[in-house]
Amino acid sequence: MSDDDLVEGGHLLFLSKGGLKLKGGDDDDTLIGLNSDDAILGKNGDDTLYGEAGNDTLNGGNDNDKIDGGDGNDVIIGGRGNDVAKTGKGRDQIVIESSKEGKGFVA
């Protein structure tokens, strides 16, 4: 795979040139952005999102997600479900949503 490859239909999406938008599907996805301002949406499934460096917006969507903003001034949105967030260096914002299915966020 080259630095520009984007695998669709699988469970791993790797973004090496940032500033783009990544969107997962209905399965459990792992979405990774690198060193830029990325927008990553997990949608459905128990997703794992990595913002890496940059000022990222990460939205887990539905279900139980693990979200790692990395360094930068990130916005982390858990969505519905029981989510876990990890932040790095920077001024991060964590948006907490709760629903009947999930109790919210662990940061």
> Domain residue spans in the chain?
12-98
Can you list the residues of the chain whose pLDDT is less than 50? 1-10
Q: How far is CA 94 from CA 11, 16, 27, 54, 58, in A?
A: 25, 25, 24, 16, 10
The 10s digit of each residue's pLDDT in 56-81 is 999 999 999 999 999 999 999 988 88
Beta-bridge partner residues of 82: 104
* pTM score, whole prediction: 0.79
Hunting for tokens 């791993």 — which residue is that?
A: 12
